[in-house]
């Protein structure tokens, strides 16, 4: 069986370091591993509209931001098919048929939907489109017969729902048209949840605690200087805490031994730096300056690539257009198979007219 990846992001904002460690970096590695037959990366604008229907301009503007972020981290359109969800109408049609295989109660039990309803104050009235987005996400995945779906942990309920729909479809129509996907989640805890610069649980635009992939060197430096550390580490000589200290969490996620050799040769590695911080005698400014260099080392090539693509925005849209055309062609094949399995492919079914005539002659 072919190994096929599909994943995507809602274009509600520019992508940040949390996205980078949580998914983008891995996607580029998967892309370059050569182990996958096909890779689809989708900009999920239709899904983003399920809770932003009154602000389509936000989605419209962020499509190009996300595309630039993708290209600048090294997703290569020659290897990864980048496309826009709403421009593949076959996905919507699949969703309409899958809806019949899911109960309202089942959607209500979806833990991700539950928390998102609370977050968005939808308790008073849940938009139907939003409520059913797990079904639409199943279409995204199954249209491409994806076997592997790299996502954050919060998406596991979506994958479970997708697997259920696949099983139900194949059993109901006695076929093996749809493929059960597997989730691929980040390997370590920091990658699952990089805290914001203020030390709160997660980077989020509304909290203003993000470092964006598109931030300049100066912006990154400024944001690092405001980062939350250990509030009880007041004098340099005080012993400091490493756990829950955001600067160290970021160093855990990004620093390498060669960063120490290059930028902070007094220490061999992060363990030595942590030991010194715990003992006391190491100031926050020194570790922050080091983190600035580490982050900018990681971000410099990303910024360089972004600058090149920003100069030719029409070419970026052309990449999306090409990817979308290819995605549509694939989704159309699956949709045709789905309709054949459901026996609603009336005009492609040569037997149909003859057998209906026979029924009326009888
Ligand atoms: N729901 C995903 C998110 O919020 C985005 C998404 C839409 C997606 N369709 C998908 C992810 C299909 C994986 C597969 O991050």
**Backbone dihedral angles phi then psi of residue 212, each to the nearest 5 degrees:** -85, 150
- Token digits for 161? 């729902």
Does the CB atom of residue 43 touch ligand 1 within 6 A? Answer: no
Q: Which atom of ligand 1 is nearest to the CA of 152?
A: 15
Does the CB atom of residue 135 touch ligand 1 within 6 A? Answer: no
Residues 6+ apart with CB under 8 A from 78: none
Q: Do the Cβ atoms of 38 and 6 come closer than 8 Å?
A: no
**Radius of gyration from C-alpha coordinates of the chain:** 24
Q: How far is the CA of 185 from the centre of ligand 1 (A)?
A: 13
Nearest CA to ligand 1 atom 5: 9
- CB-neighbour burial class of residue 234 (10 A; exposed 0-12, middle 13-18, buried 19+): exposed
Does the CB atom of residue 148 touch ligand 1 within 6 A? Answer: no
Q: How far is the CA of 290 from the centre of ligand 1 (A)?
A: 35
pTM higher than 0.75 for the full model? yes
> Over the chain, what is the mean pLDDT?
94
Q: Do the Cβ atoms of 147 and 162 come closer than 8 Å?
A: no
Nearest CA to ligand 1 atom 15: 9
Calpha distance 170→17 (Å, rounded): 40
Q: How far is the CA of 203 from the centre of ligand 1 (A)?
A: 18
Calpha distance 221→49 (Å, rounded): 34
Does the CB atom of residue 51 touch ligand 1 within 6 A? Answer: no
Tell me: the pLDDT tens digits for 263-315?
A: 999 999 999 999 999 999 999 999 999 999 999 999 999 999 999 999 999 99
Collapsing DSSP to helix, strand or coil, 4 comes out as: strand
- What is the enclosing helix (H) or strand (E) of 40? strand 38-43
Q: Beta strands 38-43 and 182-184: pairing type?
A: unpaired
State the pLDDT at residue 35: 97
Tell me: the pLDDT tens digits for 229-266?
A: 999 988 999 999 999 999 999 999 999 999 999 999 99
Q: Do the Cβ atoms of 72 and 303 come closer than 8 Å?
A: yes
**Which regions of 204-345 does DSSP assign to beta strands (E)?**
none
State the pLDDT at residue 190: 63
Does the CB atom of residue 140 touch ligand 1 within 6 A? Answer: yes
Q: Do the Cβ atoms of 210 and 196 come closer than 8 Å?
A: yes
Asked whether residue 191 carries a pLDDT value surpassing 70, the answer given is no
């Amino acid at each position: 069986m072919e190994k096929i990846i599909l994943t995507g992001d809602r274009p509600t904002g520019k992508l940040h370091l949390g996205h980078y460690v949580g998914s983008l970096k891995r996607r580029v590695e998967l892309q370059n591993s050569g182990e996958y037959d096909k890779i689809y990366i989708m900009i999920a604008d239709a899904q983003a509209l399920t809770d932003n229907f009154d602000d389509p301009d936000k989605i419209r503007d962020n499509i190009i931001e996300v595309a630039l972020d993708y290209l600048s981290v090294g997703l290569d359109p020659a290897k990864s098919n980048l496309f826009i969800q709403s421009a593949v109408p076959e996905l919507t049609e699949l969703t309409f048929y899958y809806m019949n295989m899911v109960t309202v109660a089942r959607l209500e039990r979806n833990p991700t939907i539950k928390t998102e309803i609370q977050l968005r104050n939808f308790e008073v009235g849940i938009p139907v489109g939003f409520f059913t987005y797990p079904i639409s996400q199943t279409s995204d995945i199954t249209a491409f017969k994806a076997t592997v779906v790299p996502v954050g942990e919060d998406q596991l309920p979506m994958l479970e729902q997708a697997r259920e729909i696949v099983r139900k479809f194949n059993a109901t129509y006695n076929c093996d048209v749809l493929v059960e996907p597997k989730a691929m989640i980040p390997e370590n805890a920091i990658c699952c949840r990089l805290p914001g610069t203020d030390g709160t649980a997660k980077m989020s635009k509304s909290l203003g605690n993000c470092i964006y992939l598109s931030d300049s060197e100066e912006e990154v430096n400024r944001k690092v200087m405001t980062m939350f550390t250990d509030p009880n580490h007041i004098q340099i000589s005080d012993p400091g805490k490493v756990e829950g200290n955001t600067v160290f969490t970021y160093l855990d996620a990004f620093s390498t031994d060669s960063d120490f050799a290059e930028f902070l040769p007094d220490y061999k590695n992060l363990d030595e730096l942590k030991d010194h911080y715990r003992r006391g005698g190491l100031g926050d400014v020194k570790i922050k300056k080091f983190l600035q260099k580490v982050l900018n080392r990681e971000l410099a090539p990303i910024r360089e690539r972004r600058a090149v693509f920003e100069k030719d925005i029409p070419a970026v849209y052309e990449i999306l257009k090409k990817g979308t055309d290819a995605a549509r062609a694939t989704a159309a094949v699956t949709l045709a198979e789905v309709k054949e399995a459901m026996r609603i492919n009336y005009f492609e079914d040569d037997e149909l007219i003859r057998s209906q005539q026979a029924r009326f002659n009888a």
